[in-house]
């Protein structure tokens, strides 16, 4: 079997795809990961083969522009419309798809993949799959907050769909590979799901000496991701204030941040260690809790280790994630905007006081994740179903479209999928 993976040039979108890519290769299948040229080393550093396609797009610059002057709504406010900002984000997804399309399609016509696996913003994926007549599998990185693209799909992707000879743009694909335990996920009746255990991959890893032994008192991790500061959202980076507030508690605090954030963590209390950009998969097994910005990769990695979380999200995606996590009882969602030092201190004390309860719920959620099929089990399942055309893949046409004529390829569009696990 040949699996073509497609990803945005963004670490946190690609990393959740890595375990399945390794599982497929370990089972003897071929995997190729397509993205923009600037992302090539990130893919190869993960041990997967890269296909650089199209011209590069300034991802960080475009995201920064989308969030320029952004602040979350005030406490109790209904908020402002997210449509303009959301549209700019999906316009970026459409521009990336356009940029990658020609070279990716040239490769696909030669390589002839049996399946296209794509992350939710790499929306060239379902278009290519429909053009080729193979299944499109959307691999989620966490909470499924990207379904709003269905409202803008024809407007933003209609031209590319027509160029590829695809009658209908179906951004949700045929099957969603879902790594969220059902209690954590946003329910949706129109999504056909294949459960997939979340196995953390946070990039190349080296275990620091400070983490090689279990602490004598509770260890609290503090991290603030790699997005907010680079795109200019300095107000949303509460990590330094949280670390100072934790200095008066009988806990070990470990700060895990990128090197360019180190300058913001000054005058650290005696109970605080800065370990740099250590992958959370190495840090969290010895932690009693983690406090962070609500990033999908951070949330899912902590979930997989059964670690309680205090989330202070600044951007809308993180708010959705934090609300879903809080609903499981595994942590607490705290609105960070206009949070003075007294309110922050009170919130931290309340979180630490309730930590045993959060730990019980987080442990349960972690066990629910471990009960899901592993990437190797899903790789075996996918190969069997694609070979036998059984289950949700029974109605997918088996012959790819090798013509570049839209009129000829239009007839190769996939039938609608029915059945499966919902």
The pair phi, psi for residue 194, each rounded to 5°, is -115, 110
pLDDT digits (tens, 9 = 90+) for 144-187: 977 777 777 788 899 999 999 999 889 999 999 999 999 999 98
Among 107, 116, 172, 170, residue whose Cα is nearest residue 144: 172
CA dihedral sign of residues 304, 310, 315, 316: positive
* 310 vs 119: CA distance, rounded Å: 26
Give the model's pLDDT for residue 71: 64
pTM, to two decimals: 0.88
Considering only CA atoms, give the Rg of the chain: 22
* 27 vs 20: CA distance, rounded Å: 11
Give the model's pLDDT for residue 70: 64
* pLDDT top residue among 364 and 207: 364
CA 289 to chain centre: 21
Please check the confidence at residue 379 and state whether its pLDDT lies above 70. yes
C-alpha neighbours within 13 Å on the C-beta side of residue 337:
14
Torsion from C-alpha of 320, 324, 329, 331, nearest 10 degrees:
-30
* pLDDT top residue among 190 and 227: 190
What's the rounded mean pLDDT across residues 4-9?
Answer: 96
pLDDT digits (tens, 9 = 90+) for 18-76: 999 999 999 999 999 999 999 999 999 999 999 999 999 987 777 767 666 666 666 55
Please check the confidence at residue 114 and state whether its pLDDT lies above 70. yes
Average pLDDT value for the chain: 86
pLDDT digits (tens, 9 = 90+) for 323-378: 999 999 999 999 888 788 899 999 999 999 999 999 999 999 999 999 999 999 99
Residue 143 token pair: 């909470």
For the chain, percent of residues with pLDDT exceeding 70 = 84
The pair phi, psi for residue 90, each rounded to 5°, is -75, -25
pLDDT digits (tens, 9 = 90+) for 236-247: 578 889 999 999
Give the model's pLDDT for residue 400: 45
Cβ pair 141, 381 in contact under 8 A: no
| DSSP result, 142-197 | SS---GGGGGTHHHHHHHHHHHTT-S---TT-SEEEE-S-TTTSPP-TT--EEE--
Among 110, 142, 113, 98, residue whose Cα is nearest residue 313: 142
pLDDT band at 419 (very low <50, low <70, confident <90, very high): very low
Residue 340 token pair: 């003075």
């Amino acid at each position: 079997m040949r699996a073509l993976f497609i990803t945005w040039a963004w670490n946190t979108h690609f990393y959740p795809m890595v375990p399945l890519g390794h599982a497929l290769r370990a089972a003897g299948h071929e995997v190729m990961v397509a993205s923009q040229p600037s992302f090539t080393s990130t893919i190869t550093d993960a041990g997967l083969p890269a296909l650089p396609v199209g011209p590069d797009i300034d991802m960080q610059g475009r995201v920064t522009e989308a969030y320029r002057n952004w602040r979350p709504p005030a406490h109790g406010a209904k908020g402002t419309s997210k449509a303009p900002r959301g549209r700019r984000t999906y316009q970026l997804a459409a521009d990336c798809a356009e940029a990658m399309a020609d070279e990716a399609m040239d490769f696909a016509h030669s390589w002839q993949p049996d399946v296209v696996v794509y992350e939710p913003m790499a929306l060239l994926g379902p278009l290519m799959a429909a053009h080729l007549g193979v299944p499109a599998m959307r691999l989620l990185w966490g909470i499924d907050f990207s379904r709003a693209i269905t409202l803008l799909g024809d407007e933003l992707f209609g031209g590319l769909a027509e160029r590829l000879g695809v009658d209908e743009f179906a951004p949700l694909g045929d099957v969603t590979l879902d790594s969220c335990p059902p209690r954590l996920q946003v329910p949706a009746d129109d999504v056909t799901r294949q459960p997939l255990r979340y196995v953390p991959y946070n990039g190349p890893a080296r275990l620091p000496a400070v983490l090689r032994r279990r602490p004598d008192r509770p260890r609290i991790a503090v991290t603030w991701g790699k997005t907010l500061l680079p795109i200019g959202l300095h107000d949303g980076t509460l990590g330094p204030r949280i670390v100072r507030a934790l200095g008066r508690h009988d806990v070990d605090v470990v700060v895990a941040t990128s090197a360019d954030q180190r300058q913001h963590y000054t005058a650290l209390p005696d109970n605080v260690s800065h370990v740099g950009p250590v992958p959370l998969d190495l840090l969290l097994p010895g932690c009693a809790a983690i406090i962070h910005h609500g990033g999908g990769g951070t949330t899912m990695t902590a979930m997989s280790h059964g670690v309680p979380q205090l989330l202070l999200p600044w951007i809308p995606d993180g708010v959705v994630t934090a609300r879903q996590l809080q609903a499981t009882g595994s942590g607490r969602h705290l609105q960070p905007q206009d949070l003075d030092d007294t309110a922050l201190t009170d919130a931290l004390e309340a979180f630490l006081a309730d930590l045993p309860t959060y730990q019980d719920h987080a442990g349960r959620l972690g066990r629910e994740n471990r009960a899901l099929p592993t990437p190797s089990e899903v790789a075996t399942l996918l190969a069997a179903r694609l070979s036998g055309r059984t289950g949700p893949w029974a109605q997918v046409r088996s012959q790819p479209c090798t013509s570049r004529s839209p009129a000829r390829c239009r007839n190769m569009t996939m039938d609608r999928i029915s059945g499966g696990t919902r």
